[in-house]
Amino acid sequence: MMAKRRFGMVRKLPSGRFQASFVPPAGGARQTAPHTFKTKTDANRWLTLVEADISRGTWLDDRAAAETFGSFAQAILRDSPKIGVRWRETCERNLRLHLAPLVEVQLRELTASRVREWHAAALRGKGGRTSISQSYRFLRMVMNTAVREGIIARNPCQIPGAGTVRVAERPVATPAQVVALVEAINPRYRTAVLIAAWCGLRRGEIAGLRVADVDLTEHTITVRKARVEPLHAPDQAFDKDPKSEAGKRTITIPPHVVPLVRLHLDKYAGKDRLFVSRDGTPLRGNTLYQAFVRARKQVGLDELTFHDLRHTGQTLAAQTGATLADLMKRLGHSSMAAARRYLHAVDGRDREIAKALSELAAHGDVARLPRHITMRS
């Protein structure tokens, strides 16, 4: 017989014990206590505690917490609109390779000590530090979602620095080396190298450029889309909006690059797209990459990646006196952290700054300071 309550219900089972149940705050199927009770009073007391937790916002969905990490992670990869194709592929790969020991573990059983043990074992294994860092970041994101959805009380990912990897300083090509690369690469891709080095575009942004994105009157290039090629299905490439509004940007082309852009438009551009393959189809990122690899080998720059061209251009821009805001605009960054790394180019120029300070002391006029020196607080 059911006992009516303001919250939940208690009923006596044929065994003589009592069962407590309630409907979760978000609705759905009625949930029962994980065990039965010897007395009706005990069952009512349990429901009172559950009701108090719900009113305080500390109630955890025990049924949801029984879901495995692997199942919950796959659901997030499927449903999250913020996860791009390439990052989804990376996370799925890491689920198979690095996070496999946690896939069958229930969310409620993923404690801080268990995460620590998994991370230590992963570092002792054969996996690369970058992949392990990516795996940890994904694990942390999944568990953050579980916290927000009231499935667990606290994120068990508490290892300082586990989600970051200190990479070696990327090489910066000199202007002469950029010229050498341009001369060595297939003429069809020379403008792509120049745009990467002097305008700071990513490879996907270059592949996504349209002829209409180039304004030779104003000497600008406008980034509206980026080309995405799934790792496991490159033939299913598509154009997408940049990750943030800052990614949609108009960049002034340095004057020395304009003639080659004009030549490219006349000789190699497609009817619609700025960069196309020989058969007129949209340029594939791997095609550009392979052409670049052959060129860098020819000029002895084997350690330079295509993305390093972007790093090169922005480092040189910082050396000309570009501010943090200037770099953020050209790079398409919405946060200062990513753009700030390029200002390292002016670090170490203490002698020039000291000389400039002496000039300021002598003339008493800040306007007479050399403009190419960037001051940072």
Catalytic residues: 202, 307, 310, 333, 342
CB under 8 Å to 67, separation ≥6 — which residues? Answer: 106, 107, 151
Burial 222-252 (b: 16+ CB within 10 A, else e): ebbbbbbbeeeeeeebeeeebeeeebebebe
How many other CB atoms are found less than 10 A from the CB of residue 174?
10
List, in sequence order, every residue forming a beta bridge with 106; answer none if it has no partner: 68
**What six digits make up the tokens of 262?**
């004009």
Find all residues with CB under 8 Å of 251, minimum gap 6, and list them: 199, 200, 201, 220, 221, 222, 223, 329, 330
